[in-house]
Amino acid sequence: MINSKDKQRIEELRSVLHGHNYRYYIHHDPVISDVDFDMLMRELLELEKKYPQFSDPSSPSVRVGGQVTKEFKTVRHTYPMLSLDNAYSLEELHEFDKRVKKILGSGTGIEYVCELKYDGVAVSLHYVNGILEYGLTRGDGTEGDDITVNLRTIKSIPIRLRGSDYPADFIIRGEVFYPLKEFHRMNREREDAGEPLLANPRNAAAGTLKLLDSSMVAKRPLSCYLYSLHCDTPPYRGHDENMSAAKSWGFNIAPYTRLCRGLEEVSGFIEEYREKRKKLDFIIDGIVIKVNSPDQQRKLGSTAKAPRWAIAYKYKAERVSTSLLSVSYQVGRTGAITPVANLKPVQLAGTTVKRASLHNADQIEKIGLHEGDIVFVEKGGEIIPKITGVDLKARNGGAKKIMYINTCPECNTALVREDGDAIHYCPNVWGCPPQLKGKIEHFSGRKTMNIESLGYETVEQFFNAGLLKSPADIYELPDRTYEILKLERWAQKSVENLIEGIEKSKEIPYEKVLFALGIRHVGETIAKKIALRFHSIEKLMDATPEQLLQVDEIGEEIANSITRFFNERKNLELVERLKKCGIRFEISEDKLAGFTGKLSDKTFVISGVFVKHSREQLKEMIERNGGKISSSVSAKTDFLLAGENMGPAKKEKAKKLGLKVISEDEFLNIIA
């Protein structure tokens, strides 16, 4: 029986705890002790356990976590998460300013907003009617992983907004990071426990957000600053005003920003934080400069990779010198050769650096490396070590110049380098051990065939034992259990788990199988698009480069790579063997349901809030019927799919271009 007083108490506790979280994490002004807060939270948890029918995903109790996820699903970004172009000098900032003024008109008044560039993990939060709907990682910029269960545990991210003047449907983006004080405390605790230390705050934050148990994430002291609002009609005419409004809704907006009128004020902000950044409780690697006006941002638009209305000024990285001990060469699964400098260990930006990538032969030649050189090492973005030069005064006169290798360090095959490519490759695709092991690892990985028992160490062990030389050999392992049981660490139960995982992988959908094949340049997103256009492996094999180019996001390089892959006899043999093993090489009936091809070569822009379907569902319907999706209206747009509260700018532009504006019902009739 429901006690009405208990229901009222649940609602009261939720409201009170939301208020205390806001005061503590946003205003840093707590009014009760931690003990009192914990007592209120405990009371709420007990009542919610007693009355599960009153569960609410926006309750402050979700902060404690507890949900275990098997894997994070991939979700398309409503607005692409683009990267920023970088500037390393004031001269480059002046060039950026000139480009902005050229597009907007030299007489246009332009204000810039300066913000810190946080060295954390970018996230995108989607709010509907004031409630956190979902949160995504950047991913590839087009799609990201849904890590909502973990983001809800971060106390500086509001689950329910304050006030009522926020847009009904919007996205806000920011950076999740470890405060340095908390990061160093965690490392001290790990040191005391005899555990390996965390290398740096950024990697630690990224690893935490990918934990499958949200209760573990809840125990980590992550924080989050939000810095950009995205919706069809922003409430205010300035980015700074929108961020100020977002703070009143309960978001943690960093105070380290400034509205600047001209590059002189921008330069002043950059210089101010050149030293101040060393005293901050988090790592930054530069300053982000944005055009303040959303209207001007829309006019400036974006390139395929970056917005034209923003740029990141990068501070010069910390530099140290150390001895070059040797150069070794790594072979990747695609045969790419990566030279690596092995260094005398040296402290750099808080970590011990022992190795640095040399990228390619041109880089070695450019630096002019000799054996035993004293080299200068920096961290690109204060994360990745790189050699930037040589101390010529310290060089031994008889030192030999380091020459890039001509043959593969693993199989001794002569290396090849295609015209216009900076990378050398080992062409011995089916005979070079690292390539073979890399193919098998990729094939069995979590995002491909998801065979849990076939991780790096197992693949290495089975390869050395002669059990695996090709991904197709995986499906012969159930017939070789006697040989597996002879190997170290293998018992009857672990073999049964392996066989079960292999059998389950036969249910993996066609688009993931395509990704698993390891075709160069064909990632997870491209594989999905190919599967929707070519419904079976036979149709893909028969496709011409011209037909491949019709698929969204496929250019000449990818089209040629796919064609080359299926022109090789060994690859065709691999596909045939996998077919005989029962691997899916055609799109499933449920994926094909409703696929008509009626929207082939049609480009849609989706704007507004819809009644019958979410934007994600509408996007999927368009793609499943052969259509393309664009984020902005242009002459190449065929339809503007308009919902409620659609931005007037898109509607006006569509009208000027004479484009067809359709409703949700009209769209559903087209594909019915």
- How many angstroms separate the CA atoms of 46 and 50, rounded? 6
* Residue 598 lies inside a defined structural domain of this protein: no
In terms of domains, do 417 and 457 share one? no
In terms of domains, do 234 and 297 share one? yes
pTM: 0.54
Considering Cα of 345, then 346, then 350, then 355, what sign does the dihedral take? negative
In terms of domains, do 249 and 162 share one? yes
Give the residue among 526, 477, 534 at the shortest CA–CA distance from 500: 477
Q: What is the CATH number of the domain that holds 549?
A: 1.10.150.20
pLDDT computed for residue 352 by the predictor: 86
> Could you tell me the residue range of the domain that residue 139 belongs to?
86-314
What does the block give as tokens for 397? Answer: 């006169």
Q: What is the CATH number of the domain that holds 35?
A: 1.10.287.610
- How many angstroms separate the CA atoms of 660 and 664, rounded? 13
For 136, the enclosing helix (H) or strand (E) is strand 131-137
In terms of domains, do 499 and 533 share one? no
* Residue 663 lies inside a defined structural domain of this protein: yes
Per-block mean pLDDT, blocks of 10 residues, the chain (672 long):
75 80 64 70 79 75 59 87 89 93 83 94 94 90 89 91 91 94 79 60 87 82 94 91 94 94 93 89 92 93 87 86 94 88 87 86 92 86 72 90 95 90 89 94 91 92 96 96 94 94 95 92 84 91 89 82 93 96 87 71 82 78 79 82 77 85 90 80
* Residue 551 lies inside a defined structural domain of this protein: yes
Q: What is the CATH number of the domain that holds 289?
A: 3.30.470.30
Give the residue among 578, 589, 591 at the shortest CA–CA distance from 623: 591
Q: What is the CATH number of the domain that holds 666?
A: 3.40.50.10190
In terms of domains, do 476 and 581 share one? no
pLDDT computed for residue 100 by the predictor: 93
In terms of domains, do 210 and 99 share one? yes
In terms of domains, do 575 and 625 share one? no
Tally of domains in the chain = 6
User: What b-and-e string marks burial along 429-448, b requiring 16 or more CB atoms within 10 Å of the CB?
Assistant: beebbbbbbbbbbbbbbeeb
In terms of domains, do 133 and 207 share one? yes
In terms of domains, do 475 and 517 share one? no
* Residue 81 lies inside a defined structural domain of this protein: no
Give the residue among 133, 136, 78, 76 at the shortest CA–CA distance from 624: 76
- How many angstroms separate the CA atoms of 348 and 478, rounded? 49
* Residue 167 lies inside a defined structural domain of this protein: yes
First to last CA, the chain: 47
Give the three-state DSSP class for 606.
Answer: strand
pLDDT computed for residue 621 by the predictor: 82
* Residue 79 lies inside a defined structural domain of this protein: no
- How many angstroms separate the CA atoms of 325 and 318, rounded? 21
117 is catalytic: yes
What does the block give as tokens for 266? Answer: 């921008």
Q: What is the 3-state secondary structure (H, E, C) of 438-494?
A: HHHHHHHCCCCCCCCCCCHHHHHHHHHCCCCCCHHHHHHHHHHHHHHHCCCCCCHHH
pLDDT computed for residue 381 by the predictor: 43
pLDDT computed for residue 117 by the predictor: 94
> Count of residues for the chain?
672
Catalytic residue among 5, 50, 101, 117: 117
- How many angstroms separate the CA atoms of 268 and 264, rounded? 6
- How many angstroms separate the CA atoms of 365 and 287, rounded? 33
Domain end (from 274, 290, 314): 314
In terms of domains, do 259 and 155 share one? yes
- How many angstroms separate the CA atoms of 405 and 338, rounded? 11
In terms of domains, do 21 and 126 share one? no
What is the side-by-side strand order in the sheet with 121-128? Answer: 131-137, 121-128, 169-177, 223-230
What does the block give as tokens for 382? Answer: 């204060």
In terms of domains, do 628 and 658 share one? yes
Close Cβ partners of 589 (under 8 Å, ≥ 6 residues apart)? none
* Residue 80 lies inside a defined structural domain of this protein: no
- How many angstroms separate the CA atoms of 451 and 474, rounded? 10
Considering Cα of 58, then 63, then 65, then 69, what sign does the dihedral take? positive
- Asked if 415 and 425 count as a contact pair (C-beta separation under 8 A), the reply is yes
Domain end (from 296, 314, 332): 314
Taking the CA atoms of the chain, what radius of gyration do you get in angstroms? 28
φ/ψ region of 111 (left if φ > 0, alpha if ψ in -120 to 50, else beta) reads: beta
